[in-house]
Chain A
Amino acid sequence: MLQMKGISKVYRADVVQTSALRDFNLTVDEGEFVAVTGPSGSGKTTFLNIAGLLEAFDAGSYLLDGQDVSRLGDDARSRIRNEKIGFIFQGFNLIADLNVFDNVDVPLRYRGFRAAERAQRIQRALELVGLASRGKHLPSQLSGGQQQRVAIARALAGEPRFLLADEPTGNLDSVMARQVMELLEEINGRGTTIIMVTHDPELARRARRNVHMLDGQVTDFTEFEAAIRVRETRAAAGA
C-alpha cells in the first residue's frame, strides 16, 4: 500500500539546514492502522506531509498503491490526493464560510462527481459520523468534537483507501477524543488504511501497529513498547 525507502528531507533556510527525515523507511500494508509517535521535531508531520503528497522529498523512493509518486507533477499529485487519500488535521481545518454540507463537498467537487452523487456521498459520510442533521450548520456553530467529525466525514466522502490523521484528537477533551478514536477504529474496521500521528501513547496503543520516530528515522519498535511499559510500571508503583 505505502512503501517508503531511504527517504530524506532537508529544510533549508539561509545558512541553516534541518534534516527532517533521514534514510526513512516504512512499509504500510492495506487495512493497517498505524500510529506514528515520537517527540516534537522527530519528523512525524514531515513524514505525514510526504505520505500525503503535500510535500516533496530530496532522496529515496515512495510507492503508493504500487505507483512511484516521486516524480509526479502537481496535477497528478492533486488527483491522487483527491482520489486515494483522506486527511484529518489536528485543527480540523474546516472552511469557516462553508456549512457542514459544503465542507464535506469540497473534495467531491474536485473529483468531478455530479450533484446527485455528491449529495448521496455527503449524506452517507455525515450519517457515518452522526451529523446527518447538521448539514446546514456552520463550523462555528459546532463543538470541537463535532467539527472533527465533520472533518472525518469530509475525508471519508470520497471513499479514500488511505486516511492520514495528524493528531486528530489533539484539540479535543478526553470524551470527544475517545469518540473520535472509536470512529477511526470503525473506519479502519471497514478496510480503510489509517496512519495516525500522535503524541499520546494511550491512543497509539489502540492502533494495530506502532511506529516510533526519532530524529527523522523510525526507531526500533520493540524498544519503544518496552519504554512505554517501563513508564506504566513506574506510574503504577508511584500510585
Chain B
Amino acid sequence: MFAYHLRLALLSLRRTPVVSLLMIVAVGLGIGVCMTMLSVYALMAGDPIPEKSDVLYAVQLDNWSPDRPFGEPNEPPRSLTWRDSLALLERTPAGIPRTVTVGTGFVVEVPGAQDVRPEIVTARAASVDFFSMFQVPFIHGSAWSASHDADGAPVIVLSRALNERLFGGEDSVGRELRIGNDLLRVVGVIDHWQPTPRFYDLSVGAFADTDEAFVPIALFDRHQQDWGGVSGSINCWQAPPAEGVFHSECVFAQFWVELPDETAVADYRAFLDAYVNEQKKLGRFARPLNNRLSDVNTWLDVNEVVQDDNSVLLGLSFMFLAVCLLNTVGLLLAKFLGRAGDVGVRRALGASRTRVFGQHLVEVGLLGALGGLLGLALAWAGLLGVRRLYVDYERVAHLNAELVAIAVGLAIAAGLAAGLYPAWRICRIQPATSLKTQ
C-alpha cells in the first residue's frame, strides 16, 4: 500500500505544482537555516574525545593579582605559569598520567634535501603522556620515550601532512630535521588527528588546526630563546622580569592530568592545594586557594567554546523552522481539504480512515523529504557562506554524514508533524457530505 500511496502522492504534487513547490520551499528554508546553525553548533558543542572526556582534567591554579581576579566573579587563569607547569609535571604522584603542553613554532629543514624548502611549522612542546592521554594515532613509529622526555632529547614527532611535505609521505622514522642549529631525529609520524574543539589548548582558538610537529618539553625549555617562543595567549598581571615570561607569573602553559575516578580527583585536588600552600609560604599565590580541575566538557564550558550567541541563533533557527512549518500546515490544510471530494469517493469505495490518514501522511513525508533535500542544499550554501565570513569557523562549518542523516530525518519528521493535523482533518470528513458537494 505504501507504493500506491507514494504514487498518489507524486500525482498530487503534479496536480498542484505551485502549492507543492511553496511547501517544499517552506520546509527547505526552515531545514536549511536550522541545519546551518545546527551543523556549526553540533561540532562546536561536540565531545572531542568521548572515550576519555570524563577522566581528563585541565588544571587551573590561581596565581593572579591579589587585587583582582583573572575573571569575574572569581575565575582563576586558564593556563599556568611555566614554573608551575614544570613543577607539577615533576611532582605529580607517580602513576598519574600528566602532561604540560604549550604551542610554539619554528623553521624546519631537511638536511641535504635540495628539493625541500625550509618552512615554518606550527609546533607543540609536550611531555610524553600527551600522546597516550589524548589518544593520538600514529602511522609510523611512536611517541618519544620517558628518558627522551626527561633528558630533552633532540627528537620530533611529525604530523602526517608535514611528513608528506618533507618526506613525501614515506616512513621517516630515523630521519633527521634541522631546527636552528640542532638536528632532531624523527621518532614518529601521527595519522590525521583533529579533535574538534581542540580542547587541549584553546588559547589560539577552539577550532584551530592541530599542530604539525611535536617536541619534548625539556628540549623546548632549552630553546626558549632561539626557537619561536610561545604561540598562543600569554597573560600577565604584572610585568615579566628581564629574563622573560618563562621566569614570570605570566600564564601560557596547559596542564592536564588523567584521573580515573572521584577519589583520584579529590586526592589530586588535595595535592594541588598542598602545592599552592607551599608556594604561598614562598611569597607567591596571594589570592585565596582557588584551584580548579575541569573535565574536558567542563573545560569547554569554562572557555565558552559555544558562546551564548550560538545557542540563541540555534534557538532562533528552530523558531524559524516552526514558522515555516506553520505555513506548511496552512497550505496542507488548503490542499487536502480541496480534495475532500476525492477522499469522499475513496471512503465510499472502502478506504478506512486509517488508510486515508496513511495516504496523506505519505504525501507529507514525501514533501518533507523533498524539502529536506532542498534544505540540505541550502545548508551547504549557508555553511559555505559561514566559512567565507568567519575564518574561525572554517573547521566547524561542514556537513558530515551524520548531519546529513539528521537533516533528512528532521525534514521528514517536520513534514510529518506539519501534516498530522491536516491528515487527521481530511480523514475525519464525512464521506456523505463530501460526496454531496462534489
Interface residues of A (CB under 8 A from B): 45, 49, 52, 54-55, 74-75, 78-79, 81-83, 87, 89, 91, 93-98, 106-107, 109-111, 154, 158
Across the interface, A82 reaches (CB within 8 A) one of B344, B349, B354, B432, namely B349
A78 touches B12 (CB 8 A): no
CB contacts (< 8 Å) of B12 on chain A: these are: 97
CB contacts (< 8 Å) of B345 on chain A: these are: 93-95, 106
- Indicate whether B117 reaches chain A with its CB closer than 8 angstroms: no
Q: Given A97-B15, A110-B350, A110-B355, list of 10 further CB < 8 A pairs?
A: A52-B348, A54-B435, A78-B352, A78-B355, A93-B344, A94-B345, A97-B11, A110-B349, A110-B352, A158-B350
Cα–Cα, bound, A81→B350 (Å): 5
Cα–Cα, bound, A234→B432 (Å): 38
B349 touches A54 (CB 8 A): no
- Indicate whether B436 reaches chain A with its CB closer than 8 angstroms: yes
CB contacts (< 8 Å) of A94 on chain B: these are: 345
Cα–Cα, bound, A95→B434 (Å): 13
In the complex, the chain A residue whose C-beta lies closest to that of B15 is A97
Which 10 pairs, one residue from A and one from B, show the smallest C-beta to C-beta distance? A82-B350, A78-B352, A107-B349, A110-B350, A49-B432, A54-B432, A55-B432, A97-B11, A93-B345, A54-B431
Cα–Cα, bound, A49→B351 (Å): 16
- The smallest C-beta distance from B358 to any residue of chain A, in angstroms, reads 11
- The smallest C-beta distance from B438 to any residue of chain A, in angstroms, reads 5
CB contacts (< 8 Å) of B349 on chain A: these are: 81-82, 87, 106-107, 110, 154
CB contacts (< 8 Å) of B15 on chain A: these are: 97
- Indicate whether B4 reaches chain A with its CB closer than 8 angstroms: yes
B438 touches A74 (CB 8 A): no
Interface residues on chain B, number (Cβ under 8 Å) = 26
Residue from the set A74, A79, A94, A158 with the largest chain B CB neighbour count within 10 Å: A74
- Indicate whether B78 reaches chain A with its CB closer than 8 angstroms: no
B341 touches A78 (CB 8 A): no
In the complex, the chain B residue whose C-beta lies closest to that of A158 is B350
B354 touches A75 (CB 8 A): yes
- Indicate whether B347 reaches chain A with its CB closer than 8 angstroms: yes
* CB pairs A–B below 8 angstroms (15 shown): A54-B347, A74-B352, A78-B350, A79-B350, A87-B348, A93-B435, A93-B438, A95-B345, A97-B12, A97-B15, A98-B11, A106-B345, A107-B350, A109-B4, A110-B355
Cα–Cα, bound, A159→B11 (Å): 28
- The smallest C-beta distance from A60 to any residue of chain B, in angstroms, reads 17
Residue from the set A52, A89, A110 with the largest chain B CB neighbour count within 10 Å: A110
A45 touches B350 (CB 8 A): no
Residue from the set A52, A74, A83, A93 with the largest chain B CB neighbour count within 10 Å: A93
- Indicate whether B346 reaches chain A with its CB closer than 8 angstroms: yes
A93 touches B341 (CB 8 A): yes
A89 touches B438 (CB 8 A): yes
Residue from the set A78, A82, A91, A158 with the largest chain B CB neighbour count within 10 Å: A78
- Indicate whether B430 reaches chain A with its CB closer than 8 angstroms: yes
In the complex, the chain A residue whose C-beta lies closest to that of B436 is A45
CB contacts (< 8 Å) of A91 on chain B: these are: 438
CB contacts (< 8 Å) of A79 on chain B: these are: 350, 352
Cα–Cα, bound, A78→B358 (Å): 15
B435 touches A74 (CB 8 A): no
In the complex, the chain A residue whose C-beta lies closest to that of B353 is A74
In the complex, the chain B residue whose C-beta lies closest to that of A94 is B345
Cα–Cα, bound, A71→B97 (Å): 75
Residue from the set B4, B345, B347, B355 with the largest chain A CB neighbour count within 10 Å: B345
- The smallest C-beta distance from A218 to any residue of chain B, in angstroms, reads 20
Known: A54-B435, A89-B438, A93-B438. A109 touches B1 (CB 8 A): yes
In the complex, the chain A residue whose C-beta lies closest to that of B427 is A74
Cα–Cα, bound, A223→B344 (Å): 37
CB contacts (< 8 Å) of B348 on chain A: these are: 52, 54, 81, 87, 93
- Indicate whether B342 reaches chain A with its CB closer than 8 angstroms: yes
CB contacts (< 8 Å) of A95 on chain B: these are: 342, 345-346
Residue from the set B341, B346, B347, B350 with the largest chain A CB neighbour count within 10 Å: B350
Contact flags (1/0) for B347-377 with A, using CB distance below 8 Å?
1111111110000000000000000000000
Across the interface, B351 reaches (CB within 8 A) one of A52, A78, A97, namely A78
In the complex, the chain A residue whose C-beta lies closest to that of B356 is A78
A111 touches B350 (CB 8 A): yes
B351 touches A110 (CB 8 A): yes
CB contacts (< 8 Å) of A158 on chain B: these are: 350
Cα–Cα, bound, A93→B353 (Å): 19
Contact flags (1/0) for B207-241 with A, using CB distance below 8 Å?
00000000000000000000000000000000000
CB contacts (< 8 Å) of B346 on chain A: these are: 95, 106, 110
CB contacts (< 8 Å) of B352 on chain A: these are: 74-75, 78-79, 110
Cα–Cα, bound, A107→B432 (Å): 17
Residue from the set A45, A87, A95, A98 with the largest chain B CB neighbour count within 10 Å: A95
Cα–Cα, bound, A55→B430 (Å): 8
In the complex, the chain B residue whose C-beta lies closest to that of A77 is B352
- The smallest C-beta distance from B374 to any residue of chain A, in angstroms, reads 24
Cα–Cα, bound, A106→B12 (Å): 15
Cα–Cα, bound, A29→B431 (Å): 26
- The smallest C-beta distance from B322 to any residue of chain A, in angstroms, reads 32
Cα–Cα, bound, A94→B435 (Å): 11
CB contacts (< 8 Å) of A49 on chain B: these are: 432
- The smallest C-beta distance from A135 to any residue of chain B, in angstroms, reads 16
Cα–Cα, bound, A89→B432 (Å): 11
Cα–Cα, bound, A212→B351 (Å): 32
CB contacts (< 8 Å) of B4 on chain A: these are: 109
Cα–Cα, bound, A158→B430 (Å): 23
Cα–Cα, bound, A83→B15 (Å): 30
CB contacts (< 8 Å) of A55 on chain B: these are: 430, 432
Cα–Cα, bound, A107→B346 (Å): 8
Cα–Cα, bound, A187→B282 (Å): 112
